Amino acid sequence: MASVRIREAKEGDCGDILRLIRELAEFEKLSDQVKISEEALRADGFGDNPFYHCLVAEILPAPGKLLGPCVVGYGIYYFIYSTWKGRTIYLEDIYVMPEYRGQGIGSKIIKKVALDKGCSQFRLAVLDWNQRAMDLYKALGAQDLTEAEGWHFFCFQGEATRKLAGK
């Protein structure tokens, strides 16, 4: 197995992150919903007050190889607040390229995100057909809140958001 490094993303990683976001959307059968650009990722994640944080997983080249590290996965997260539990991390995306799955890379990303800022909760969402991901999260100790407590998550998008805001 190749050597893997999980590190904080840098502004120069935005092209690789966007490539992986598109791969994730294709995997989720939602490619048509990706509207983000490399420029928006750069502006939103690497300014004075970033909207998100990102870790990347990269495969390190073998000693003596001329190629540099290759980004094969990422995790985008941000902080939210629970009125019941306090500081919470929300993992918006986690993705590892198919040919690198099963090597513990996803678990390493999740564990590194969980170490951040002393939060009391770590939340994420998963599509109901992605059993492999659900099994991983449960194996790591996550609880399925839809199953356990009946929570459903909602989202206002586009026109619904504008209408809600009175615009």
Return d(Cα 90, Cα 74) in angstroms, integer: 14
Cα 32 → chain centroid? 19
Distances from the Cα of 107 to the Cαs of 21, 69, 110, 133, 138, in angstroms? 18, 20, 5, 10, 12
Which member of 74, 77, 100, 137 is catalytic? 137
Closest to 129 in 3D by CA, of 45, 41, 44, 27: 27
Concerning whether 77 is annotated as a catalytic residue, the answer is: no
Return d(Cα 91, Cα 82) in angstroms, integer: 15
- The total number of residues written for the chain in this structure: 167
Residues with catalytic function: 137
